Chains A and B, each alone.
Chain A
Amino acid sequence: MPTPPSEEVVLSWFDELSNWGRWGDDDRLGTMNHLTAAKKISSAKLIQEGLSVSCSWDIRTGLQPGATVESQRYMLSTGLGLDSEGRKGLFGAGRAGAAQEYIGMVFHGLDVTHLDSLAHLFWDGKMYNGVSSSQVSDRQGALVHDVLAVQEGVTTRGVLLDIPRLRGVNVLDAADHVYPEDLEAAEKAAGITVEPGDVLLVRTGEGWSRLAEKKSYNANKPRSGYQAACLPWLQERGVAMIGSDVAQDVTPAGYKTVSMPIHMVGIVAMGLWLIDNCNLEELATTCERLGRWEFQFSMAPIRFQGVTGSPVNPIAVF
């Protein structure tokens, strides 16, 4: 059984795995620097079936399990009653109509599929590349490291490592954590190797629970995920982004001072981009059916100025 790294070791990774200055003092891309033009071009070769799979959940209104606050939708105008006699205007029945709405949400949390920008987290008052946390303010939002850093979108090779498939279960137990050994076993089972510039998606089966338990699903509970021990492995492989059907980190992580080491060390020290709360169920089924666990990955974050991430709909194309 793998031994979890001690808290002291995890804390040392803030320095040892740091990418600060690696791509220049003004770098805003972090691990996205691993994604080269050649990598994008080669990912096109993975489109062979003409089949697309969404890796996102629906964004719903009302208080959802794991949501920070309920997503809001306020209709400014609707089509309600426009087909009835009673809604005829002064000038007779209107032929043209329109619907529009205001939408508000907190996408960070355990519900919405979203991308964390490098402005999302701080450690010792700093963001990635040594930028002061004060660059994220109430008045102006994120002046540095907002989601616009990836405004050109993400197109690369995507890889799914399906850990429940390895274990022969639908969903990993909360205390069954994903270690580098599991990632390598899943690579071997899938016949692939995670390479620089890849988007790595790790399935824990949490989406299976979410679908099976429907309204009784409880997101606010201990869950499996990447154990902190994966951090050096992710750095060594040079992934551009990681994603999962949970919020990456095992919870509880068990450490006194760093409750989400994948988030903290990953975002702040490594400049690692995270896609939380993916829906990987249909993707896993498709990979199984086609017998391949690599595909072209594409994602276009919304160009929110000064925002610490974006709700996203990652697409796997086979």
Chain B
Amino acid sequence: MSENKALVTIDTPLLIVGGGPAALIVGTVASGYSLSSLIVGHESKDSDEMFGLDDKAIALLKPHGVINVLRPYAESYEPFVITASLFEKVLKHHCVVNMNITLYDGMELLDLSPDGDGAKAIMSDGETQWLIQADHLVDTTNLATDPNAATREGAAIAEAIVAEKIAAKSA
């Protein structure tokens, strides 16, 4: 074993667990406000079900560049129709390349302990473990999975956390 192998601590402002498209939306919208996040346990589902993105969802996603990256995968533009599966997969890639978002495949949380607004947890790839220390914890388990509702709910959560941080900073 290497002498450089050690438990690395990941210090993150926002830990997002629970999966689904809402997890990706929370991370994306938070990133728009320069708030970094770590998304753990996200798995994209395969589904051919078509969704038409409504005006509200488009308005929320557009400032974050999401509509641009979704466009090549859309069935039609007006209305903006895309399968739920592609919506989530493309959005996930958008998160992976976002420097404010950390999202890996094949990771799981071995332990999650809420700590005030935040949490402490252990992330593992089956071989190595990382200690996570988060200022805020968002669990998207019970949030909507259809793209429109997930976008609204995820964006609202991210904006509430950002507003809280801004208020705390100016207090």
Binding site for B on A (CB under 8 A): 1-2, 4, 7, 67-69, 106, 108-109, 121, 167, 169, 172-179, 182, 218, 220-222, 251-252, 254-257, 259-260
Q: Are B6 and A175 touching (Cβ within 8 A)?
A: yes
Contact A254-B6, Cβ < 8 Å, known A175-B128, A259-B102 = no
Q: Are A255 and B2 touching (Cβ within 8 A)?
A: no
Q: Are B36 and A222 touching (Cβ within 8 A)?
A: no
Q: Are A182 and B11 touching (Cβ within 8 A)?
A: no
Contact A256-B128, Cβ < 8 Å, known A172-B2, A221-B104 = no
Contacts of A182 in B (CB 8 A): 4
Contacts of B6 in A (CB 8 A): 1, 175
**A18 → chain B closest CB, angstroms:** 20
CA distance A220 to B43 in the complex (A): 13
**B14 → chain A closest CB, angstroms:** 10
CA distance A167 to B2 in the complex (A): 7
**A interface majority secondary structure:** loop
Q: Are B2 and A257 touching (Cβ within 8 A)?
A: no
Q: Are A252 and B130 touching (Cβ within 8 A)?
A: yes
Q: Are A177 and B97 touching (Cβ within 8 A)?
A: no
CB contact between A252 and one of B8, B99, B127 (< 8 Å): that residue:
B8
**Cross-chain pair count, CB within 8 angstroms:** 79
CA distance A252 to B11 in the complex (A): 10
CA distance A257 to B13 in the complex (A): 9
**A175-B5, A221-B105 given. 4 additional CB < 8 A pairs?**
A106-B97, A172-B2, A175-B4, A221-B106
| Number of chain B residues whose Cβ lies closer than 8 Å to a Cβ of chain A | 31
CA distance A220 to B72 in the complex (A): 22
25 contacts between A and B (CB under 8 A): A1-B4, A7-B11, A67-B93, A69-B69, A106-B97, A109-B97, A121-B99, A173-B2, A173-B127, A174-B127, A174-B128, A175-B6, A175-B128, A176-B4, A177-B4, A220-B96, A220-B104, A221-B107, A254-B9, A254-B130, A256-B36, A257-B36, A259-B36, A259-B100, A259-B102
Contacts of B130 in A (CB 8 A): 175, 222, 252, 254
**A217 → chain B closest CB, angstroms:** 11
The 8 A CB mask of B99-114 against A (1 = contact, 0 = none) is 1101111110000000
Counting from the closest, the 10 A-B pairs by CB-CB distance are A176-B2, A256-B11, A175-B128, A220-B105, A68-B97, A176-B5, A254-B8, A252-B10, A221-B104, A176-B4
CA distance A256 to B15 in the complex (A): 12
CB contact between B11 and one of A2, A121, A222, A255 (< 8 Å): that residue:
A255
**B70 → chain A closest CB, angstroms:** 11
Contacts of A109 in B (CB 8 A): 97
Contact A222-B3, Cβ < 8 Å, known A69-B69, A257-B36, A259-B99 = no
Q: Are A254 and B11 touching (Cβ within 8 A)?
A: yes
Residue B7 is within 8 A (CB to CB) of chain A in the complex: yes
Residue B54 is within 8 A (CB to CB) of chain A in the complex: no
CA distance A172 to B4 in the complex (A): 10
